[in-house]
Amino acid sequence: MSQPVHGVSLASIYEARRRIAGQIVRSPLIRSQILSDRFAADIFLKLETCQPTGAFKLRGATNMIAALIERDGRDTLARGVTTASTGNHGRAVAYAASRLGVPATICLSSLVPANKVAAIEALGATVRRVGYSQDDAFKEVDRLVTEEGMTLIPPFDDPWIAAGQGTIGLELLEDQPDLDHVIVGLSGGGLLGGIGAAVKSVRPEINLVGVSLSQGAAMWESLCAGCPVEVAEVESLGDSLGGGIGLDNRCTFALVREVMDTHYQVSEVAIANAMVDILETEKMLVEGAAAVGLAAIEEHDLAIQGRKIALVLSGNGIGLETFDRARRLAGR
């Protein structure tokens, strides 16, 4: 069988699972009784909030660094790894690099919340804050790679990254093989694309649903345009879903276009309501990007009655001040 153009296959996802075994948590899939009753459906929550870094990004970052060591040897990473991130990926790279004995430098824009910056620094990585967008931060990454010989660990646009995130899909199929819908936040496409590559390879009839912000939805705008486009980044409760996909995107644009069946955009008010609902029903404090699946169900009144639904709760990187803002916006 030929390798897909995006470079992500079921075999590469199984290889990723082998590499990251023992480095990440096999996150729980729990049935929410309250949400299931509310929507007359079986609602399952995939708790990537249980990862050591609090988000799914650890899977992809660990897989890529481990794969590079496996392929090229540890000495090739002696000058360190680097990336730009809205927070969760930076923390994941810092953690994975520390566990694997590799130095890390994380570049962040000034929009990244202070709690995420502190979390990265606590893991021993060097943090450089540059500009007002992910694109600005990536300019510094490019310099570190070109001038200082560091190795880029991209947030999403790489087959090893997407394959690492795809291990979530394997776990979903093993824990609940008869799912009807999997609902995933959509930004750069590594999470949705990786999960989709896994579940569609085994059960192509599963409806893979992507959820984006109402503004700044770079992947969705690119899919509509038929090619990667630039979209202005906006401040949002779902800040982890912000940022562009790169005009030279080589993996995730094609991957998402192949596997995603349905797409919704959600408003800030809907995200805020979903964040509060998850805290009230499940006693879990999650970031806005983790709540967009529930936001889509509520805002768009999705017809899911009698279906089995998996919502990927992607991360818990949120400060109490941000949650207070969400609660006020929701009027609760």
Return the CATH fold of 57-152.
Rossmann fold (3.40.50)
* Residue 1 pLDDT > 50: no
Q: What is the mean pLDDT of residues 207-221?
A: 96
The full 3-state SS of the chain, as one line of letters, equals CCCCCCCCCHHHHHHHHHHHCCCCCCCCEEECHHHHHHHCCEEEEEEHHHCCCCECHHHHHHHHHHHHHHHHCHHHHCCCEEEECCCHHHHHHHHHHHHHCCCEEEEECCCCCHHHHHHHHHCCCEEEECCCCHHHHHHHHHHHHHHHCCEECCCCCCHHHHHHHHHHHHHHHHHCCCCCEEEEECCCCHHHHHHHHHHHHHCCCCEEEEEEECCCCHHHHHHHHCCCCCCCCCCCCCHHHCCCCCCCCCCHHHHHHHHCCEEEEECHHHHHHHHHHHHHHHCCCCCHHHHHHHHHHHHHCCCCCCCEEEEEECECCCCHHHHHHHHHHHCC
Highest-pLDDT range among 1-5, 122-126, 147-151, 243-247: 147-151
Mean pLDDT of 262-277: 98
User: Residue 86: its pLDDT value, please?
Assistant: 65
Q: Which residue has the higher pLDDT, 309 or 84?
A: 309
Quick check: 277 pLDDT over 90?
Answer: yes
User: Tens digits of per-residue pLDDT, 84-128?
Assistant: 886 788 899 999 999 999 999 999 888 877 877 888 899 989 999
Per-residue pLDDT at 246 exceeds 80: yes
The answer to whether residue 2 scores a pLDDT higher than 60 is no
- What pLDDT band is residue 226 in, cutting at 50, 70 and 90? very high
CATH architecture of 10-56+158-330: 3-Layer(aba) Sandwich (3.40)
Sorted by where each begins, the domain ranges of the chain are 10-56+158-330, 57-152
